[in-house]
Structure 1
Amino acid sequence: MFDEERPFTIITSTGRTGTIFFAQLLGNLFPEQVESYHERGHSRLINILSNAHLAGLVSHASLLAAWQRFKQPEFDRRQNPFYIEVSAHLYAAVSALPELWSGLQVVHIVRDPRAYVRSHINWSRHRAKSFVANYLTPFWQPNPFLLREMRLRDWPGMSKFQHFCWIWDFKNRTLASLETSDVRYLRIRFEDFFQSEDQEARLNELLSFIGLPAQESTAQYFSRRVNLTEKKTFPGWQSWSPLQCAHLDQICGDRMRQYGYGLESAWRDRVQIGYEQL
């Protein structure tokens, strides 16, 4: 049963999905009603512990204890009726949290995997903190060998491009499992907010889910982007090799089409050529 007296919304994703934007937007629209945070407090620690939990190295009880120690006080100190945290670091923790909060609701942001992979590769290459996190920090990302999804020798033999393809698929699979759970769940597409003419309708769908009133004349909020990758040395898919296109389709194809991506004839042609080269 959803607890309307203690609503707590987590907006989460694979990362590289406009999370800073959403945190700022909700706080700016409702300064008297909403406390909205981006990656607040110990979210990074929870990310590492959650990935270790998925790998079987941290118990369920220990993960919940860490949440109660490091994250629960943030919620308890809230001053406004609506508490929202926007953080990709919480993607794996959310399935355990209904045991602590009946008022939990989760918004899952999805993004075209071709854009996500490009953005994350560029982000991890050109920011020192992101490089250390994505390349050197244990359990910053999920591990397919420990999750029994891949043989030990296979993961090191894959390119970083393929790694991020798998991360996109795994994290979205993990979050999509909430759709058939008791958790209140909404999936939204990144592109419907940043690359469409129907932004206001999509925003009001999100607000309705959270429990906030609809808004009008919000176009100005979408004109300013935040947290952009300044150096874009890894190109868009139109410049990828057919083999790269096929590799992404091998890993992400079913789910990306389910979400409405990868339907362009030019993409399908490149994927087909790539499969012929495998």
Structure 2
Amino acid sequence: MTDKKMVFISSTGRTGTQFLADSLSEMIPQCRSVHEPGTLWLTKPKLFLENIKDFGLYHMSLGQLNPKYSMYTLSNLRAKGKISDDEAIHYIRKMRSHYIEKGAEELYIESSGHLFGVFDLIPQVFPDSKLIFIIRDPRNWVASALPTTEYILYGSFDWGLSVSAEDLKEDPYHDKWHNMNKFEKYCWWYNYLNRFVMERCKNLPNIRIYRFEDLFSKETKDGYFTNMLQYAVDGSSMEGQTYYDSNRLTKPKHSKKNSRNYQGWRQWGRYRVSKLMEHCSEFMLGYGYGGEDLWVQKLEKIDPKYRHFTLPQWFSPFYRIQGLS
């Protein structure tokens, strides 16, 4: 068993995970931070060659469809109920143990949206690891994800890999899936993924949740980002040695999106507002989103009930695990 300290960061994607991987190794001494290792990105040929050296050609080609070699495939198959926890734990260990051990740095940080389906199992593979989950305003997440050119979710190159309501017989949208457009499917995914993680991680001791907005907005980034850095290094030899660079947080990097197709929530009509709230109202309320006057006006035109919406019981225990206490 390795003596390395480990931190795993996950989210829905579109939350600065690439930026964190690029930045944390510069802010923390003796830290190796990586983004979605072993993942095939056709838009990043240089990274593809590096991954072949680390994981092998099969892993980086046909293996991407196999849960033994692809964290994304593994996460989705577990979310679909087609992989047992014991199998998933075995595959995580096989995919990561050697890769983590090969670095000389004391601290390993992996930032990856592909971990969502096995996030709660990571402490069983690496008992002393820490987890960080980042949540983003669902309105901005959907608006950002829809035009992203590298996002395969429910697109032409998804090939049924991503979990959907169609895979889940008990899901209320199981029979409606084929009639849902991509916007609504993204709203469903946001709710399903975040809830999947939260329900399974709520009793884990070493996990923190941060809002994307708290980490990167001008008004709050100093306190929250410093808090996250401290959490990452607590218990290691790097305690008190982190270098927080606020200038790097001005513009977190994301994968490419087609700005011509981007439409923020302020431009949304009745349909998009209603579908977003139909799927994501718990996260809107639970994480303090949606207080803008314009948004409230949009809601009142749809259904005044949202003024009196209350959180479901499952949400309450997890909401307290958030950034600064």
Q: Indicate the TM-score class for this superposition, using the shorter chain for normalisation.
A: 0.7 to 0.9
TM-score after normalising by structure 1: 0.87
Counterpart residue type for residue 41 of structure 1: G
Counterpart CA distance in 2 for 1:189 and 1:36 is 20
Count of aligned pairs: 269
SS in 1 for 2:147: helix
Match of 1:256 in 2: 284
**Aligned AA (2:250):** S
Give the structure 2 partner of residue 11 of structure 1: 9
Aligned partners of 1:113 and 1:256 also within 8 Å: yes
Seen in structure 2, the aligned counterparts of structure 1 residues 99 and 193 have a Cα distance that, compared at 3 Å, is closer
2:128 matched residue in structure 1: 103
Does residue 33 of structure 2 align to residue 36 of structure 1?
A: yes
State which of 18, 21, 46 in structure 1 corresponds to 2:19: 21
The verdict on how the C-alpha distance between 1:102 and 1:217 changes in structure 2, with shifts beyond 3 A counting, is closer
What is the CA distance between 1:202 and its match in structure 2? 1.0
CA spacing shift, 1:259–1:151, aligned 2, 3 Å: closer
Matches within 5 A, 1:1-278: 5-30=3-28, 32-42=29-39, 45-123=70-148, 127=149, 129-131=150-152, 134-138=155-159, 140-147=161-168, 148-211=170-233, 212-213=239-240, 215=242, 218-232=245-259, 233-275=261-303
Asked if 2 retains the 8 angstrom alpha-carbon contact of 1:178 and 1:185, the reply is no
User: Following TM superposition, by how much is the alpha carbon of 1:16 offset from its aligned partner in structure 2, in angstroms?
Assistant: 0.4
Q: What CA distance in whole angstroms lies between the structure 1 residues aligned with 2:271 and 2:20?
A: 35
Q: CA deviation at 1:171?
A: 1.4
- After TM superposition, which residue ranges in structure 1, 4 or more long, deviate above 3 angstroms? 3-6, 131-136, 214-217
| Structure 1 vs Structure 2 CA RMSD | 2.4
Structure 2 Cα separation of the partners of residues 38 and 59 of structure 1: 26
Asked whether the 8 Å contact 1:98–1:183 carries over to 2, the reply is no
The 2-side partners of 1:14 and 1:230 are apart by 16
Structure 2: 5+ residue runs without aligned partners? 41-63, 65-69, 234-238, 305-325
Q: Is the 8 A contact 1:118 1:236 kept in 2?
A: yes
The letter of the residue matching 1:153 is D
Percent identity (aligned): 23
The secondary structure found in structure 1 opposite 2:9 is: strand
Equivalent AA in structure 2 for residue 222 of structure 1: L
SS at match of 1:71: helix
> What's the secondary structure of 1:85's corresponding residue?
strand
Q: Give the C-alpha shift of residue 151 in structure 1.
A: 4.7
Identify if the C-alpha distance between structure 1 residues 64 and 261 changes in structure 2 by more than 3 Å, giving closer, same or farther.
same
98 and 196 in structure 1: CA distance in 2 versus 1, 3 angstrom threshold: same
How big is each residue's C-alpha offset from its partner over 1:77-103, in whole Å with a ceiling of 9 and x where there is no partner?
231111100000001111122221111
Deviations 1:198-222 (A, max 9, x none): 3121111101211243656622111
Distance in 1 between residues matched to 2:2 and 2:85, nearest whole Å: 26
C-alpha distance in structure 1 between counterparts of 2:25 and 2:124, whole Å: 27
